[in-house]
Chain A
Amino acid sequence: MNETLERISKDMQERFAAEISEYAGDSTVILTPEYVLDAVQTLRDEYHFNMLVDITAVDYWPDQESRFHMVYHLYSMLNNLFIRLRVPLNGNAPHLPTVEKLYPAANWKEREVWDMFGITFDGHSDPRRIVMPYDWQGHPLRKDYPLGYEEVQFTFNAAEIDKRKPYAKE
């Protein structure tokens, strides 16, 4: 691991009770939800991670214990370093504070995470859906979201399906 990155990781470990995992020279900081804001602010202000690359989430259903992981990717233009924050969240409807105040770019990314995973961001200025239609029910990227299926028409059942297919009127 890069020396600077190692120093930063160590500092995160001490200040925010984080767990560090290293893979292929990348550092992942595993945090608890209450430290997210402070950790992101420290990285931005003290360690020059001035670019929010991505916010996303992972669903580990059917595990209920830390079912969702929030993932933040930050980049430091000054040091040419990437760092990744992971926040395990418990339960089916988790929520954690927004980082929109620190990085305005987080607005849309958090909207997308809310839309796709149903993770609520407290204090978000515009908590609407962004990808799915506004009246959509459910959060499609959850592992327990039904994929949806309509019976396929073949020669033997074409007429039968045709009868109940909702054709558009003029």
Chain B
Amino acid sequence: MGLEAKTGNMGVVTTTLENVVNWSRTNSMWPLLFGLACCAIEMMGAQASSYDLSRFGMELNRASPRQSDLMIVAGRVSRKMAPVLRQLYDQMPDPKWVLAMGDCASCGGVFNNYAVVQGVDEVVPVDVYVSGCPPRPEGLIHGLLTLHEKVKKEKITHWA
């Protein structure tokens, strides 16, 4: 009824491999369970029922870097934490993405001093920066959707 009558049996869909792979990557992008400061509270808020990140297939925060695709750096990174952060990033399997959440992770924020890394992009390559101190869950979700847009534009020639 309705759709079937218009489109036929729907048993076969033709598309490109790029589209299928990028679609599956964006709709099950599991973040690493990793919070560093107050931004982590907003990240938890984004995952809880009112904002519900599971709408985007991101409800599972993996506690192991081996099972995660996305690293959300939620908070300030101290100089002592930086090697740990890099090690976690190195342990994540490809393809992997990094989202710098909040001002501290993006550029050091208000902590312009010897103890805090001035932007996590000095340690790991960042795909999306989200501003805010801390960003509201809407801000984080906007950042994640921006990342999804970026991933959907990836070409098969880049994967090799």
Contacts and interface: CB of A to CB of B under 8 A. Distances in A.
A170 B123 CA distance: 10
B112 A153 contact: no
A149 B130 CA distance: 23
B112 A165 contact: no
Contact of A147 (B113, B122, B123): B113
Interface in B7-29: none
Contacts, number: 36
Given A132-B80, A133-B79, A153-B107, A147 B121 contact: no
Contact of B125 (A132, A140, A170): A170
Interface string A133-170: 10000001000011111101100000000000111111
Nearest to A167: B121
Interface in A33-61: none
Chain A interface SS verdict (over half)? loop
Contacts of B113: 147-149
**What is the size category of the interface that chain B forms with chain A?**
10 to 19
A80 B147 CA distance: 59
A168 B122 contact: yes
Given A140-B115, A153-B107, A167 B80 contact: no
Contacts of B124: 168
Contact of A149 (B79, B112, B115): B112
A168 B114 contact: no
Interface string B99-127: 00000000110001111001101111100
A167 B122 contact: yes
B122 A165 contact: yes
A160 to B, nearest CB: 15
A140 B122 contact: no
A150 B122 contact: no
Nearest to B114: A148
B118 A168 contact: no
Contacts of B86: 168
B114 A140 contact: yes
B112 A168 contact: no
Contacts of B80: 132-133
Nearest to B108: A150
22 contacts: A132-B80, A140-B114, A140-B115, A146-B114, A147-B113, A147-B114, A148-B112, A148-B113, A148-B114, A148-B115, A149-B112, A149-B113, A150-B112, A165-B121, A165-B122, A166-B122, A167-B121, A167-B122, A168-B123, A168-B124, A169-B125, A170-B125
Given A168-B86, A168-B121, 17 more contacts: A132-B80, A133-B79, A140-B114, A147-B114, A149-B112, A149-B113, A150-B108, A152-B107, A153-B107, A165-B122, A166-B122, A167-B121, A167-B125, A168-B123, A168-B125, A169-B125, A170-B125
